[in-house]
Structure 1
Amino acid sequence: KDITADDSGEVTAKCGNQTSTAYLYVEDIPVNFTKRLTDQNVMEHKNAKFTCETSVEDVEVDWFVKGEQVKESQKYSIYEDGVTHMLVIHDVLIGDSAQVTARVSQFESTAYLYVKAQPVEFTRTLEDQSVAENTTASFTCEVSKPANVQWFVSEVEVTQGSKYEIDMKGLSHSLT
């Protein structure tokens, strides 16, 4: 029962001065993928998870990103639970879009990581203002990452000129 490769060897039966001998050959179960990797579409700054399953428990799966083998690190976590194997790529960035490969024995499973850019969001919005006629009003907003901000007054786009001053410092944008 539950024969393993360690059970390979000679088997002998003895009866008096008679013996009968045979050899037990235990063939390894071929290791391959029973569940392959699938492409992942992940928003930037999130974690990407690639999962596969092998035909045999407790085998080592090697992981490759952009053709380079990866090991456990701050960027990569590698998990194994029986036949299930997982690679987690932490805090993905646009530049992390790549081919990801799991390799066991001579078999490979490949999928792609597609990283989608986070949309630009306002982190500080415009505030209503009441000003006296013939004075200056200034409006300021901030965005979540570098971006171009267009300014509109009464739904008409305004540009830098004698009436309007447009300024940008880091993620802060202002119209005066």
Structure 2
Amino acid sequence: GDASTTCTVEVYERELLVLQGLEDLDIQEDQNAVFVCEVSVEDIPGEWYKNGQRIQPTSTVKIRQEGKKHFLLMCNVHAEDSGEVKFVARNVESAAYLDVEELPMNIVKPLQDKAALEKSRVILDCTVSNPRCSIRWYKGCNVILPSERFEISSEGCYRKLIIQQVALEDEGTYSVQVGEYTCSAKLTVEAQSVLMLRELRDVDVVAPDDACFECEVSDLVLRSPVWSLNGEPLQSGPRVRLEKTGTVHRLTLRQTGPDMSGE
């Protein structure tokens, strides 16, 4: 007759164990952090976490597996990368702590004294120890903020202050502050020589007509020129008008009278 038999096959998943757990790591900023976890079974998928958040591969974070070993590489770590790193596979896990020490904040190469010709471009520069250093620029006791003439630039550890069209009033002591550290340098500005192209001419008027004087110089003058009458400086007012158009300077005396006669 017909004969038959049956059996039950039960497949048990191999127990997974951690053979080599993660180890705590203390490193400085800009170094690479490497974590290795070895399990008892090959080609088991796993996941990495930092502070409870799953880690995804990026240009600076690499995840790799070789047989039983799982690797996590974090390149050029920062202080904010500190925290708990965990590897999880099936029902096993291993955790360690990453402590990233912040690089010291100080000035490696200080400012140097500079001398410049009026209206030229001046660069004051220094080098700091950490590319993430936050610095402040000062002229005397006043903080320098970016403007049309003042440009503040940062390239890695290199810091510079660029002054466009430097003026005589820009002369003085400049300093940078990095945390507790400061350094300073003196900027000296040499005035450009200005030639008189068209001099003043004598003017005769009948009171109370206006008297207009005009002269022209060889270059733009940033500082306002000083006009005087009989040795006394003149200020803008109802009877005195001071004008400047490029290199041409004008003085207009209004409502003239005998008291305005002179040089």
Shorter-chain TM-score above 0.5: yes
Higher relative contact order (CA 8 A, sep 6+): 1
The residue that corresponds to 2:48 in the other structure is: 63
2:110–2:184 CA contact under 8 A, matched in 1: no
1:35–1:53 CA contact under 8 A, matched in 2: yes
CA distance in 1, matches of 2:101, 2:76: 12
Counterpart of 1:95 in 2: which secondary structure? Answer: helix
1:114-162 deviations in whole A, cap 9, x for unaligned?
A: 00122346543688xxxxxxxxxxxx853223389xxxxxxxxxxx8xx
The correspondence for 2:97, drawn from 112, 115, 120, is: 112
Identify the match of residue 87 of structure 2 among 70, 94, 102. Answer: 102
Q: Following the alignment from structure 2 to structure 1, what is the Cα–Cα distance between the partners of residues 41 and 78?
A: 34
Unaligned runs of 5+ in 2: 113-124, 136-140, 142-172, 187-263
Secondary structure class of the residue paired with 2:16 = coil
Partner of 1:152: none
Residue of 33, 38, 42 corresponding to 2:18: 33
1:5-51 CA-partner distances (Å, limit 9, x unpaired): xxxxxxxxxxxx76665444332111231111110111101111111
For 1:3-152, list aligned pairs within 5 A: 21-120=6-105, 123-124=108-109, 142-145=127-130, 146=133
Counterpart secondary structure, 2:54? strand
In structure 1, distance between residues paired with 2:9 and 2:31:
52
TM-score, scaled to structure 2:
0.44
SS at match of 2:93: strand
Cα shift readout 1:84-114 (whole Å, capped 9, x = no counterpart): 0011112110011010110011222110000
SS at match of 2:127: strand
Match of 1:137 in 2: none
Q: Which amino acid aligns with 1:167?
A: S
Q: Work out the CA distance in 2 between the residues paired with 1:32 and 1:104.
A: 10
Question: What SS does the aligned partner of 1:28 have?
Answer: coil
SS state at 1:71 partner: coil
Whole-Å separation in 1 of the counterparts to 2:47 and 2:134: 39
Partner of 1:132: none
1:174 correspondence with 2:184: yes
Q: Deviations over 1:56-77 (max 9, x none)?
A: 1001111101110112112321
